[in-house]
Amino acid sequence: MKNKQLRRWLLILGPLVAAAVILWPTVDAYLLEQEEMQALHQAIHGKDSTALKAFENANGERYRTAKMNRVKLGLDLRGGMYVMMEVAVDTLLRETAARETLDETFEAVIRATHAQAEASGEDYLDAFHANFDRIARPKGKSLISYFDVPGVQDVTDEKVKERLREDVEGAIDQALEVIRQRIDKFGVSEPNISKQGSRRIVLELPGVNNEREMRQLLSTTARLEFKLVRNSADIVKALYRIDAYLAKNNGNKNVADSTIANVDSTAKDTVKKDTTAVAAKTDKKSDSSAIAADTTKKDTAKTATADDPYKGLKDEEKGKRYQKDHQLTTLLQIFPLDQEGRFISKDGQPSYFYNESQVPEVEYVMYIPSKIYPKLMSILDRPDVKKLIPSDLQLLRSAKPEFVSKDLKDTTYAMWCVLRQAELTGEYVTDARASSDPMTNLPVVMMEMDQEGAEKWADVTGKNIKKKVAIVLDDQVYSAPVVQNKIAGGSSQITGMDSPEEARLLEIVLKAGALKAPVKIVEERLVGPSLGEDSIRRGLMGMGIAFLLVVLFMGLYYSTAGMVANFAVIINVLLILAILTPLVISGGGTLTLPGIAGIILTIGMAVDANILVFERIREEMMKGRGFRNAVDEGFSKALTAIVDSNVTTFLTGLILFLLGTGPVQGFALTLMIGIVTTFFTAIIVSRAMIELMISNGKSINFGQPSTMA
């Protein structure tokens, strides 16, 4: 008898104690948060400047532990940042295709696909294949005209489609994982990251209020590459070949980009800069020189005079003709260097040539004003122009400006020519940490490579002593140091960051990994904490009203038994929150406003099971059964109906959780947890309380007429 009594007490008090232990960090975090706010208030208003430090010393570790183990609130309750990102499948397709095969037909397919996918939300690859059949196939093109399948001899369009599908799905899955790692390393404690559609990713980041930092962290693709610099005459000759091609095709209707016909007034105004800063720097090395030159005034003394095509023209007319015949190179400022890496020019002026045959075989450095850079790239990105650049070379812009004009209206960047094939990539990076250079005190990022990467890096540096290696991140050159000696051990240093914060973000990105395809932010919004507080207040108010109505109904209609059911409901709600807490900590869920709606629904469902039991007990007592037998029959015979109703509702919640996203999942999770706890409290806890009361000789009123009491 005593064992039965003890077991009943354990069934009643056990869930309460367990819930209290699990939920205590939530209560503790709330209390400590109030203390922290009071300390902050005292520090701000000058009452006690040491209040925050005292709070940290006394409760800092306890507060952090409590926050980690508390019930996490979703974006709609706590406030934070909502971001929708999109994987750039078009870029992935361009990079997957063989570079030499890209033409206007392929670009037309990509443009049509992008417009269709944006308008309809259709699967990007399905739209691509449909547009390819409509645009490219009538012109005699097939998928194998552009794509190859490595390791497969008999390549067919079907095999290409399979490969493209694998590449796209792999890129999206990798983007999900990389973004999740970056968010975790950034310190967001309860993010909700999910895939939406065929190429979009939705992030809900509660508590995030630094919009700029988070945007920068998410939008960086982190393609870290080490590429050999080739600022030789080859690239300059290629640029002059492009000049000749553009001049020859000027006015040809097949040349799509009409903007290259003449340098517009904006470009002309931009390149007219004060050259005094250049003259003062001509003795410096090219990798640290600041350049701002006037390219509209041609220095004929430095322009080759042999076979002068403009002989006999006035200087003004000669400048206009040269501008027209050299639409690309006049956008750039090109400086030849001597063997020591210094400017050959002594007055800070760039050099100009009539054609590629006059370009000396020396090293060069090139610069571009930021306002002209888009015009330059609009020319270089044209499929017909790309064919004139050696396939193994690539022009990249420096990540940071080399020179800022005195009036701050424009900046000038360096243009680097590098080998397209990277010597080493970021996949070998095992660690990265933000630090500062002890010599310059500037922020840097120290990188460590694995054994394979260290061996490759040692081989690369050993073969390229006294040559430059560009450290390229996201197709921008962060640094191009000269290799002084063979570097063993795999340690590297990236410079070029403006601030410690930028270095820290780069550290996070490098640690998290690189993306196969760029990911762009297509929608973002901030949810203020005041809106979250209002949601919490309204949610708790709704829960309180629902609970009060249930308590009143059960107490008035079922009397003593109704109060037992009410106590079981309290245990039920506590158990839902207690079970939700470890799920949240392990990344399985977050309490959201729809989740609160699920709890409110559970309150009604919890007493529904008790109502079935109580009504069955009343029926058995009306048939003349004894009180104890009526209770046993009521619980046993109502069990089937309770199980059926709860199982069907649970399966519905499971479907919502598996197929839904965001708020739907939050509702479904609390609903499923509530169904499990409802079954436990209605059948086990309620019965334990009733049997405990019976064994102690207390009368229980189930709301039956007094004659049946």
pLDDT tens, position by position, 670-705: 888 888 888 888 888 888 888 888 887 777 787 755
Using alpha carbons only, what angle is made at residue 157 by residues 154 and 162, rounded to the nearest 5 degrees? Answer: 95
DSSP 635-680: HHHHHHHHHHHHHHHHHHHHHHHHH--THHHHHHHHHHHHHHHHHI
Predicted confidence at residue 416, as pLDDT, reads 94
pLDDT at 618 over 50: yes
Predicted confidence at residue 47, as pLDDT, reads 62
Residue 407 has, within 13 A of its CA and on its CB side, a CA count of: 6
Dist CA 588 CA 645 (whole Å)? 26
pLDDT tens, position by position, 67-111: 777 777 766 777 788 888 888 888 888 888 887 888 899 999 999
Helices 500-512 and 211-219: angle between axes, nearest 10 degrees: 40
Predicted confidence at residue 583, as pLDDT, reads 65
Percent helix / strand / coil, the chain, rounded to 5: 55, 15, 30
Residue 192, both tokens: 């909700």
Dist CA 543 CA 597 (whole Å)? 8
Predicted confidence at residue 546, as pLDDT, reads 82
Using alpha carbons only, what angle is made at residue 277 by residues 271 and 280, rounded to the nearest 5 degrees? Answer: 140
Residue 109, both tokens: 């397919």
- DSSP state, residue 493: E
DSSP 413-460: EEEEEEESS-SEEGGGEEEEEEEE-TTT--EEEEEEE-HHHHHHHHHH
Dist CA 516 CA 138 (whole Å)? 32
Conformational region of residue 8, where left means phi above 0, alpha means psi within -120 to 50, and beta covers everything else: alpha
Quick one: average pLDDT of 341-370?
Answer: 85
Per-residue pLDDT band for 137 (boundaries 50, 70, 90) equals very high
Dist CA 92 CA 94 (whole Å)? 5
Q: How far is CA 316 from CA 260, 297, 298, 319, in A?
A: 21, 9, 10, 5
Q: How many CB atoms lie within 10 A of CB 256?
A: 13
Q: How far is CA 611 from CA 565, 639, 676, in A?
A: 9, 12, 17
Which of 161, 131, 130 lies closest to 147, judged by CA?
161
Computed over every residue of the chain, the mean pLDDT equals: 78
Quick one: average pLDDT of 122-131?
Answer: 90
Share of the chain above pLDDT 70, in %: 82
Quick one: average pLDDT of 573-594?
Answer: 70
Of 157-166, 305-314, 413-422, the one with minimum mean pLDDT is 305-314
- DSSP state, residue 350: P
433-443: b or e for each residue (b if 16 or more CB lie within 10 Å)? Answer: ebeeeeeeeeb
Predicted confidence at residue 251, as pLDDT, reads 39
pLDDT tens, position by position, 144-178: 999 988 767 788 889 999 989 888 887 887 787 77
Are 225 and 424 in contact by the 8 Å Cβ rule? The answer is: yes
Predicted confidence at residue 258, as pLDDT, reads 35
pLDDT at 385 over 50: yes
Predicted confidence at residue 30, as pLDDT, reads 81
- What are the structural domains, with CATH classification, of the chain? 2-70 (no CATH), 82-219+519-525 (3.30.70.3400), 225-496 (no CATH), 529-708 (1.20.1640.10)
Instruction: Name the one residue in this structure whose structure tokens are 């095969």.
Output: 101
One-letter amino acid at 360 equals: P
DSSP H helices, 227-352, are 233-248, 265-271, 276-279, 315-325
Residue 658, both tokens: 């598996």
Q: How many CB atoms lie within 10 A of CB 495?
A: 16
Q: Strand locations in 460-609, DSSP E?
A: 469-473, 476-479, 491-494, 519-527
Predicted confidence at residue 55, as pLDDT, reads 80
Which of 111, 116, 143 lies closest to 127, judged by CA?
116
Beta pairing, strands 393-398 & 476-479:
parallel
Residues in Cβ contact with 140 at an 8 Å cutoff, skipping those fewer than 6 apart = none
This prediction has a pTM of: 0.48
One-letter amino acid at 514 equals: A
Of 196-205, 280-289, 452-461, 609-618, the one with minimum mean pLDDT is 280-289
Higher-pLDDT residue of 397, 54: 397
Residues in Cβ contact with 226 at an 8 Å cutoff, skipping those fewer than 6 apart = 422, 423, 424, 425, 457, 460, 469, 470, 471, 472
pLDDT at 135 over 90: yes
pLDDT at 271 over 80: no
